[in-house]
Structure 1
């Protein structure tokens, strides 16, 4: 067989197998026998082995898994993957409906259409398709940055790698859930039991563990399935959609698996009824559900409603009753957090809830302890709220025998002994330089997403605070080599590296500096919003609550917290000291950089972590992409480059080395 004949046959087999995968896994309507399918697959494997130059990452043969990875790369989501607000009662869902109408300015009697969808107990995945081909699959991570698990997701049999339609969208950004069916979960655990391996606690953990296997062949053995439910972005496609229900139908038309449990409900009462219907047959379903999701169906309404920093205002998860168990509260301890808030924590007799051993549960506030009448020694119902976070639901008062003791919040901080003050529903250490608060603030300040001062481990921070060397975060910039070498386990080399990292951190971005300050409720995403809106520190210091609330994504809590932070004299003094030690914002250098606006993709092994080069490029105004396309400006190649190199060569993309990139940055 000539190369041309082989290429023609390989393409023909791939097209046929993609089509038959779609018929079998999505439509559940195969038109050939398993034996015929297997024969085509074997022929394709043989040809691909003989003619490796026709490699395609989206070939149907990747369903059996490729070569193992060394580690997972990080992927920045183009659109944040927000979490959903939870509701556990009919009243909460009715209130959500009222809130939606109030926000939209609609009459209380108006009927809102909701796309009601099952809430799967799996692992959320972000998928990117370009010109009908899967290019990137990533985990949710922290909502802003996830892990690149493309190689593993390609092994999922019901997920199309190439869309089975003519003229697919140029660009698709999708969200779906990776699931493991109950029978498959049981089979895997039985095998692990025979092999003496630890058992998975539940199907969700097994699915998450399967997706995060470094060897895709292991993932392929797990028979994962995927359900798509959200078109996050679509470009270059003729068909217009204006509702979530239409988007779900479009997903199916494009060849994606969607749930047959989706339903369009007219009004909140119909949605609540459907939740009860699904809950009744929860145990008969082949996979785990932990509730339903209500989404306002109309996209124009969704746009008006917008998002908070954590969740969309147009959707809510209506959870099924969480799994519960009874146990005893042995004691109640108090934790001191980064902002000085004291949080009571129940120390429990260990109990297994839904496959997870629970020995601690947050009691949140003293108000909640009093409201639920919780005492040390009580027998209590404990649940994993939302099947995740353990919480004490209620006390079994009939089992009280007189040995129970009331809990009282301490008058003095358990860390520094300073007076504890009541702050609304919370109790807070009055000492803004409380060692625990300071230690946690420093950990946050030096972290990668903040000032990125590499090398400050917990032990070093503990010593710096305990010895009185660092009394607020600005003191980090007064440290010298000799002081650091006087700490336990800090030699000359580590001390030099720390001083270099401290010096390098002085040039940062305004957004990272805001995040580093540790303002309560201000995470990385909100810090970026504040930096974009106010441009400089002086504007941000003077920002009013009204100005802050104008930002989409900033609510009352955040606005109050920002205003409060910049009204504190101590905080303003710390900021002034940080600036006096040379901290400056390099955002303006982007305009002068030769790479400003240019796009880059990295492949292969580089001399430093990829995140280092990503931050370097972005600091100079460049853009880091996840995949190669004809619009890409540069592919930076390290040792042992992957398939991106071949793709870049075909697309005519500029290919440069790591050193050439550094030369460009210096120029």
Structure 2
């Protein structure tokens, strides 16, 4: 049992560290050097280790958990975490202001609060008697996942609140909403560590934050530089301990006083014109921030006005998100080179002078095909404008012709494969040249990477670097060769070793039972995507049953068009392809059972017997999960829109499928509607 002096010292150290954290993360005003902070932290940890009876769950040293979790439990939100309605123009914001005026039966002007919209992961935080007890992800808006242990590792998140900051004791229960994110500098730090560990880099800060928060091992999360900004306090303005907080601006100030990090870049605006000015200002200033923001959130300031307007099933009527136009940058095309894909496609790729764009360094961009190069008149040496589609995929938008000089050179597509030298043919009616050598090392590499990918055979550890080593050592020429690999030969590969080799072989062995639909997708038949593979196997049951199936027979499958049918029939007619399938079967890979169609629930529901097409990125579902939910309820999926399509489910950044649906008069549904249907 520790004596009183030791207990007092521990309390003093905890309070000092909390004070330093508050000034660093909330006030952005560090009070001490890192060395002093580290010394205090080490002293506190040593005292707690020597006196276990003094340990406390709200101690700064207790952020990192113990054993690895097996999964996340579900958490029902006290109030739904609704999505926000998006706007992309000032006219849409003016229309929002007019809707507010009609809803409140007032001419205004109205008081708004404008806040930067973070590109992160929404969370709900619960505090009891001033101590953090639970945190959950947004999930579907009504139910999220319990990620308390991981949230405790976020240094900016207070484990114990500061009641003295607000001049009163906190409410017995507080529920706060916030956004977990990673800064751009944090992403660079995390990716440097991943590179040292031989792991692929994170694509962007949002992926890094979301992936880190959903790790089952909180000790790994603790090593990720996650941050959080909080923006909402449930119960504010209602009768009870928070009833004197009547404006959202007061809520933000209160959150900051009791220890929560609040984004400092918010403004109280009188009237929509001040909101528009805030949006214009940050559309240009956002690039100077160390974190990604893709827009502005506009909210009514008076909480009583919010309650008067209420919400729809999808969005609050008192708020709107304004999305910035895509970020762009100017850079030079250093050269154009050819990449060869798994189907032999020769894709021209621009090597760019590295430039910062939307939080990442961009040095390459696909030019798609030679017709695209000719249409935009892109030359090596040109200065070009690049953007990121959905702030993710870089693309060359246009050439700065005024900056072109005599040193800029035209690019000519090669007539032979740059990797193996075989003829690069461009079939009539197509825009892409293809290497005609199926044994081309580049094609072999890309086919193996695709075969091992998550939606195909899901072979963990068989990434590009390992595939390169296997191909270069001539241990593997086809997917079937993977199942004949021996421990000794794999262990001799660079950076492998016996343990890594054993793990890889175990993953390969486990992949044998992934199922015929995933195997068919993994074979990389041109045009046969994941959904098409599922439809085909649900009809035939076994890949071997496809031998001899003509294109007309395949086209009779609901959801399979003539292009897919012809491509699959030609693949099954190929001697080398049939030999590959036979070798996979001999290795014990599951090629499927008897013919079995998807069982359709007899219960009437919006999905039953309807054909769906998915496009765009969904917020609460991966494509796979959304497709599984549709099929589980008796729906069907197709990869393309036609007159037979019943619904197109769209998310953010939808592609041409949405436009095609509207042309054909096919009904389109957004994610909020999809969520409502799932409840029926």
TM-score where L is the length of structure 2: 0.51
Matched, 1:261 2:265: yes
Matched residue of 2:163: which SS?
coil
Q: Which residue of 1 aligns with 2:113?
A: 115
Q: Distance in 1 between the 2:99 and 2:304 partners?
A: 16
State the 1:158 CA deviation: 1.9
Cα 1:239/1:148, change in 2 over 3 Å: same
Q: Check conservation: 2:2, 2:53, Cα contact below 8 A.
A: no
Q: Which residue of 2 aligns with 1:278?
A: 282
Q: Distance in 2 between the 1:520 and 1:300 partners?
A: 44
Q: Deviation digits for residues 187-224 of structure 1, max 9, x if unmatched?
A: 33233334432122222222223223333233223332
Q: Distance in 2 between the 1:312 and 1:220 partners?
A: 34
Q: Check conservation: 1:251, 1:258, Cα contact below 8 A.
A: yes
State the 1:161 CA deviation: 0.7
Q: Distance in 1 between the 2:38 and 2:317 partners?
A: 48
Q: Distance in 2 between the 1:319 and 1:515 partners?
A: 32
Q: Distance in 2 between the 1:351 and 1:518 partners?
A: 45
1:302 to 306, 314, 331: 306
Cα 1:321/1:268, change in 2 over 3 Å: same
After the TM superposition, which residues 125-274 of structure 1 pair with which residues of structure 2 at under 5 Å, given as runs?
Answer: 125-166=123-164, 167-233=169-235, 237=241, 240-274=244-278
After the TM superposition, which residues 337-416 of structure 1 pair with which residues of structure 2 at under 5 Å, given as runs?
Answer: 387=391
Cα 1:58/1:82, change in 2 over 3 Å: same
State the 1:153 CA deviation: 1.5
Q: Distance in 1 between the 2:101 and 2:609 partners?
A: 35
Cα 1:276/1:124, change in 2 over 3 Å: same
Q: Distance in 2 between the 1:141 and 1:214 partners?
A: 17
Cα 1:310/1:387, change in 2 over 3 Å: farther
Q: Distance in 2 between the 1:196 and 1:467 partners?
A: 41
Q: Check conservation: 1:189, 1:199, Cα contact below 8 A.
A: yes
Matched, 1:466 2:468: no
Q: Which residue of 2 aligns with 1:75?
A: 74
Q: Distance in 1 between the 2:149 and 2:429 partners?
A: 55
The two structures, once aligned, show a CA RMSD in angstroms of 5.3
Q: Distance in 1 between the 2:307 and 2:348 partners?
A: 47
Cα 1:154/1:230, change in 2 over 3 Å: same
State the 1:385 CA deviation: 6.6
Matched residue of 2:114: which SS?
strand
Q: Distance in 2 between the 1:134 and 1:84 partners?
A: 27
After the TM superposition, which residues 258-657 of structure 1 pair with which residues of structure 2 at under 5 Å, given as runs?
Answer: 258-323=262-327, 387=391, 466=539
Matched residue of 1:275: which SS?
helix
Q: Deviation digits for residues 222-259 of structure 1, max 9, x if unmatched?
A: 33221111113468625521221111111112221111
Q: Which residue of 2 aligns with 1:85?
A: 85
Q: Check conservation: 1:174, 1:233, Cα contact below 8 A.
A: no
Structure 2 portions without partners, runs of 5+: 331-346, 352-356, 378-384, 402-426, 431-513, 519-533, 542-556, 559-589, 613-617, 621-667
Cα 1:395/1:98, change in 2 over 3 Å: farther
Q: Check conservation: 2:386, 2:395, Cα contact below 8 A.
A: yes
Cα 1:59/1:206, change in 2 over 3 Å: same
Cα 1:383/1:39, change in 2 over 3 Å: closer
Cα 1:488/1:203, change in 2 over 3 Å: closer
Q: Which residue of 1 aligns with 2:25?
A: 25
Matched residue of 1:136: which SS?
strand
Matched residue of 1:317: which SS?
strand
Matched residue of 1:83: which SS?
coil
Q: Which residue of 1 aligns with 2:97?
A: 97
Matched residue of 1:281: which SS?
helix
Matched residue of 2:174: which SS?
strand
Matched residue of 1:118: which SS?
strand
Matched residue of 1:127: which SS?
strand
* Aligned length in residues: 426
Q: Which residue of 1 aligns with 2:509?
A: none
Q: Check conservation: 1:139, 1:147, Cα contact below 8 A.
A: yes
Structure 1 portions without partners, runs of 5+: 327-347, 362-374, 407-455, 473-486, 496-501, 526-555, 566-584, 586-667
